[in-house]
Amino acid sequence: MLQKDILLGRNIHEDHLSPLEFEFLEKVQLFVKDEVLPSTRDWENAKSFPDNIWTKLGSLGLLSMSIPDKKGIVCSCKAYVEACRILAHGDPALAMNVAAWNALSASHIVHLATQEQRDKYLDKIATGDVKLAWALTEPDAGSDARRVRTSASFIQEKPGYAKLNGQKMFITNGGKADLIVVIARISETELSAFLLETDQPGFKITERIHTIGVQASNTVRFEMHDAVGWHTPCKFEEAISFLGKGRLGIAAMGLGIAEKAIQLTVEYASQREQFNRKLSDMQSVQNMLADSVVDLEAARLLIYKGAHLYDKKQDVNMAASMAKLFASEAVNRCTNRAIQIHGGRGMTFEYLVEKLWRDAKLTEIGEGCSEIQRLIIGKQISK
Ligand SMILES: Cc1cc2nc3c(=O)[nH]c(=O)nc-3n(C[C@H](O)[C@H](O)[C@H](O)COP(=O)(O)OP(=O)(O)OC[C@H]3O[C@@H](n4cnc5c(N)ncnc54)[C@H](O)[C@@H]3O)c2cc1C
């Protein structure tokens, strides 16, 4: 069973996973229990994952969930969100990296790269030998993504290649990546995407950005000065279309954090006594837990609806925004209540809930803040 804890209930789409996916997720769960959760504080303190993390993730199949025919695992979106959720139980920063790797970077190469590009990179991406990042955000182009200023000038004597100039900011795994999918401007009105190999003189990391949560994740700002990028012929809308699946992954990361926070809080509340009663016997504590479990269940349903639509090859734009909006705000409520129930101890580094609370914040900002999700949903219903 993927979910034995009765608090969290039976996974609602467990029955819809293939035996191979099921086996894969059980391995992920074991990996999280044995190797991720015990290290999460160390990774945060080191502000880094261990160097061998990528080969480990690769050998488990976690880097090829979007790559058909790699290691025999062709993951449905349902299995992908499950993997993100399970990873977040152990380390939310790792869940975020795996979510973005699969949904944004690898998917881009699978669906929009040329055969030559796919042949060159995909095998090595699946094993973690080529490490990935996805770069849209710039200092002056965040929520307003179409404002990207990084320019791409095609090189006449090298068809398919362009010189990239500009800077990118807040790029997950940017400092470790061998290959970055860079969104750049090809004309005044058009944006497209390029594959940038980072071992070239035109590429320069200018800042390691430290964040309050997901601290182990290598978030950077970088500059490109005539850096050579290999064009993946696509329109901007195609390049950002992967954010649908990406947002479902971030929502699932939120779900995993919320599950962990609730589980830890139930355990704590059933031990801690005040006024000669366990906290868990107090009505107002039960009310907070009840609200958290309802939040959890509602988030779960929205995420699984989105994943189901994705697997049916239907448009997930609105469903993914709804899932991310609700799950990210829900996990912030849940982790806040988790700290409240832990009292003063909840604010100390001794208890994991404070870390989950900090890690949860990313879900309301990364891959489009809540206000942008509301904008997308609002536009769809006003069409
Ligand atoms: C840890 C981390 C990892 C990230 N990883 C990546 C990555 O790998 N690749 C990548 O490309 N980007 C990445 N990002 C960037 C992320 O996607 C952006 O931070 C996010 O889209 C918001 O952009 P911004 O930070 O520039 O905020 P801004 O766009 O400046 O917005 C600030 C705030 O203004 C409000 N706001 C903005 N626009 C509107 C609007 N139209 N209506 C109402 N309110 C609005 C919102 O409250 C918003 O939170 C990452 C960010 C973080 C923190």
- What is the average pLDDT across 26-32? 96
* Residues 91 and 358 sit within 8 Å (Cβ to Cβ): no
92 lines ligand 1 (CB under 6 A): no
CA 329, CA 80: separation in Å to the nearest integer?
21
Q: How confident is the model at residue 346 (pLDDT cuts 50, 70, 90)?
A: very high
Residue 268 Cα, ligand 1 centroid: separation in angstroms? 35
Which of the residues 23, 44, 367, 371 is marked catalytic? Answer: 367
- Return the closest-CA partner of residue 131 out of 121, 144, 141: 121
pLDDT at 46: 98
Instruction: Place 61 in a pLDDT band, splitting at 50, 70 and 90.
Output: very high
Q: Is the CB of 369 under 6 A from ligand 1?
A: yes
Q: For this structure, is 23 an active site residue? A: no
The verdict on the CB of residue 209 being under 6 Å from ligand 1 is no
d(CA 81, CA 96): 11
Cα of 51 from ligand 1 centre, angstroms: 28
- pTM value surpassing 0.85: yes
Encoding tokens for residue 144?
Answer: 């307003």
Give pLDDT tens digits for 212-266.
999 999 999 999 999 999 999 999 999 999 999 999 999 999 999 999 999 999 9
Rounded distance from Cα 354 to ligand 1 centre (Å): 23
Q: Which domains does the chain have, with CATH numbers?
A: 14-127 (1.10.540.10), 132-239 (2.40.110.10), 242-381 (1.20.140.10)
- The type of residue at 194 is F
Taking the C-alpha atoms of residue 26 and residue 97, their distance in angstroms, rounded to an integer, is 20
Residue 56 pLDDT > 50, yes or no?
Answer: yes
Ligand 1 centre to CA of 194 (Å) is 21
Ligand 1 pocket, residue 365 CB under 6 Å: yes
CB 221 within 8 Å of CB 135? no
Give the ligand 1 atom nearest the CA of 214.
1
Cα–Cα dist 203/195, whole Å: 12
Q: Indicate if ligand 1 lies below 6 Å from the C-beta of 368.
A: yes
- 134 within ligand 1 shell (Cβ under 6 A): yes
User: Atom of ligand 1 at shortest distance to CA of 139?
Assistant: 26
